[in-house]
Amino acid sequence: MITLGFNYSQMHDSSACIARDGELLFAVAEERISRIKHDAGFPHNAIRACLDFAKVRADQLDFVCQGWPVPGKSIATDLKCFLRGQYPLTYLNVLNTARTYASMAHQNGGFKPFTNHFGATKAQFRFVDHHLAHAISAYSYGGFDKAAVVVMDGRGAWEASSIWYGHDGRLDHVLTIPWPNSLGLFYAQFTQYLGFVPNSDEWKVMGLAPYGSPGVNLGEFISIDQGMYRVNAQLLFQRHNGISAIAKRLGPERTPESEIDESFKNVAFAVQDACEDAMLALVKLATEKTDSRNVCLAGGVALNSKANGKIQASCMVDGIFVQPAASDDGVALGAVFAPYLDSGGRLPMRPMRHAYLGPEFSDAEIEKVLRTYKLRAFKLEDVAATTADLLADGKIIGWFQGRMEFGPRALGHRSILADPRDPEMNAKVNNAVKFREWWRPFAPSMLREVAGEYLEHACDSPFMILTNPVRPEKRDIIPSVTHVDGSARPQTVEKDISPLYWNLINEFGKRTGVPVLMNTSFNLRGEAIVNTPTDAIRTFFSSGMDALVIGSYLVEK
Ligand SMILES: [Fe+2]
């Protein structure tokens, strides 16, 4: 059976993936191909890439599954919220709701553009409820037979958070917390208040939080009552004479790109703190309801690596899996397996050991591009050794190898790498390459074998989605990847999964005694991570990177 899954909620992060007989073959977000960050358009490029990779035509597919329910479900929710006063009945909100519904209905949820782009197919079209798709993306790939599955995001058609019990390849629905009682909404509204882009820049708030101090009371906006979080959406949305309820209580909103004063740092601290408490409460509830100490998380809120680290370190759980594509791009990974639940069937259980699910380019293809641009490039005998020499020499390297990662993190295939021992490296990479905010931390990739030496509560963490405390004696050894609060968001690298990347870190370790690299995504600020050799070359020459190692080739400036 060949199934295709895609996300086209029209909100953000459209994506597609393809599976054959329950084996996931390929996955890519539309933004990587269209180059529009968080692209919410119909993912026709991503679907085309899936079909090409699997060498199948659309008419050979058995199922085409979209991770969003039939048009009409969300408008019904919105209308109910308008009538109950949970969502402000403004011209703009009504217009948005009506426009989204009209667009979804006109396109039959995406199946019409599918047929337009790819022709007629015998495939069965399938709408999959959004949180069910998230839940499958956590449970099927989590590696636990029995698990509490928690989905937390901005919104589904009607869901904000949900709890499921995964067992024996099946998912039992336990409870749903309806929209707009939404942690994602809470975080997004404050992200906007702090002068960042909601549903995109939540990372920035999380990174800023440790610079703030306790003291800001957000109790009116979010509370925990009898073990359950409660978000006051009405107040979060409220505006009088153009002034939001948040601004009325906490002072004027921050102007984007302006200086960040202490009061905004303190708000970021309070937002993160409240979100962590709410997530911990929800996970506790899930473990109690399912009587399981293994937890699988998905939904955009589960990208909060700081909170995930706290959940992992808590005494509530024995095992944790966070779907690395926790946001809506990952919905495709769940939707693609949904047909297996038909007639009481079981989901394919495919523990996810890596996220290298995207396009790949051979040396011959890379060489052709280098020649097209008339670039001087050297073919390396030993890619890992030469790159390790450059890194140990303080160079900032663009590293383009193998299949692109699926999900928001670069995990050593589309990465910018540097020496984590240099306390100035954070500023150097920020100023020369990423052009991003000074407070956003960089993350380490380290050999799996040394994780316990560097981190407290170390565990296999291949996806940079859990935060751990760095051991106090190691903080000065890797200062540029240790955040101000002493934490890091590590990637543990396994030899059998990423042999070249493992070798590179190992070679760097041989030269420096520190088998750890600073790893950040290969993109410029505000752009999607590079996908093709052309993207990589363009980004390399638009930045202050010193060298580009692309396949077996070295390009220097
Ligand atoms: Fe979602």
Confidence of residue 102 (pLDDT cuts 50, 70, 90): confident
% of the chain surpassing 70 pLDDT: 100
Question: Do the Cβ atoms of 470 and 455 come closer than 8 Å?
Answer: yes
Average pLDDT over residues 381-405: 98
Find the 96 Cα to ligand 1 centroid distance in Å. 18
User: What is the distance, to the nearest Å, from the Cα of residue 257 to the centroid of all Cα atoms in its chain?
Assistant: 24
Percent of all residues in the chain with a pLDDT value above 90, rounded to a whole number: 81
Q: What is the pLDDT at residue 226?
A: 85
- pLDDT beyond 80 at 434: no
Mean pLDDT of 23-43: 96
- The letter for the amino acid at 39 is D
Note the pLDDT tens digit of each residue in 154-201. Answer: 988 889 999 999 999 999 999 999 999 999 999 999 999 999 999 889
Q: Assess whether pLDDT exceeds 90 at residue 48.
A: yes
pLDDT value at position 241? Answer: 84
Sign of the CA dihedral running 465, 468, 474, 476: positive
pLDDT digits (tens, 9 = 90+) for 206-216: 999 999 999 99
Provide mean pLDDT across the span 136-153.
97
Residues classed as catalytic: 12
- Mean pLDDT, to the nearest integer, of 256-282? 95
pLDDT of residue 9: 87
At residue 224 the predicted structure's pLDDT band, cuts being 50, 70 and 90, is very high
Alpha carbon 514 to its chain centroid, in Å, reads 28
CA–centroid distance, residue 10 to ligand 1 (Å)? 11
* Tokens read off for 235: 């107040």
Could you tell me which residue, 88 or 454, shows the higher pLDDT? 454
pLDDT at position 516 is 98
- Residues 532-546 have pLDDT tens digits of 999 999 999 999 999
Q: How far is the CA of 185 from the centre of ligand 1 (A)?
A: 11
For residue 86, pLDDT beyond 90: no
509 has pLDDT over 90: yes
Compute the distance from residue 326 Cα to the ligand 1 centre, in Å: 8
Cβ < 5 A residues, ion ligand 1 = 153, 328
Residue 106 has pLDDT above 90, yes or no: no
What per-residue confidence (pLDDT) applies to 85? 78
How far is ligand 1, taken at its centre, from the CA of residue 322, in Å?
A: 14
Task: Answer whether residue 432 shows pLDDT above 90.
Answer: no
Residue 141 CA to ligand 1 center (angstroms) comes to 17
CA 317 to ligand 1 centroid distance, Å: 24
Mean pLDDT of 279-296: 97
Total residue count of the chain as it appears in this document: 557
Distance 356 CA to ligand 1 centre (A): 22
3-state secondary structure of 132: helix
Single pTM value for the model: 0.95
If pLDDT is split at 50, 70 and 90, which confidence band does 479 have? very high
Distance from residue 384's CA to the centre of ligand 1 (Å):
38
What single string gives the DSSP state of each residue in 156-205?
-SSEEEEEEEEETTEEEEEEEEETTS-HHHHHHHHHHHTTS-TTT-HHHH
Whether residue 30 has pLDDT greater than 80: yes
Q: How far apart are CA 467 and CA 345, in angstroms?
A: 36
Q: Are strands 487-488 and 15-20 parallel, antiparallel or unpaired?
A: unpaired
Distance 479 CA to ligand 1 centre (A): 35
Ligand 1 centre to CA of 66 (Å) is: 12
Q: Are the beta carbons of 221 and 186 closer than 8 angstroms?
A: yes
CA distance 543 to 397: 11
Measured in angstroms, how far is the CA atom of residue 137 from the centroid of ligand 1?
A: 11
β-pairing verdict for 294-298 and 414-418 = unpaired
Element (H, E) at 76: helix 73-84
Residue 76's pLDDT band (cuts 50, 70, 90) = confident
Question: Is the pLDDT score of 42 beyond 80?
Answer: yes
Burial 23-53 (b: 16+ CB within 10 A, else e): ebbbbbbbbbbbbebbbbebbbbbbbbbbeb
Q: So what's the pLDDT on residue 10?
A: 84
Amino acid present at 122: K
Mean pLDDT of the chain: 94
Whole-number Å distance, alpha carbon 482 to ligand 1 midpoint, is 30
CA angle 145, 149, 150 (to 5 degrees): 165
pLDDT at residue 108 in the model:
80
DSSP-assigned beta bridge partners for residue 243: 240
530: pLDDT strictly greater than 90: yes
- Higher-confidence residue of 230 and 441: namely 230
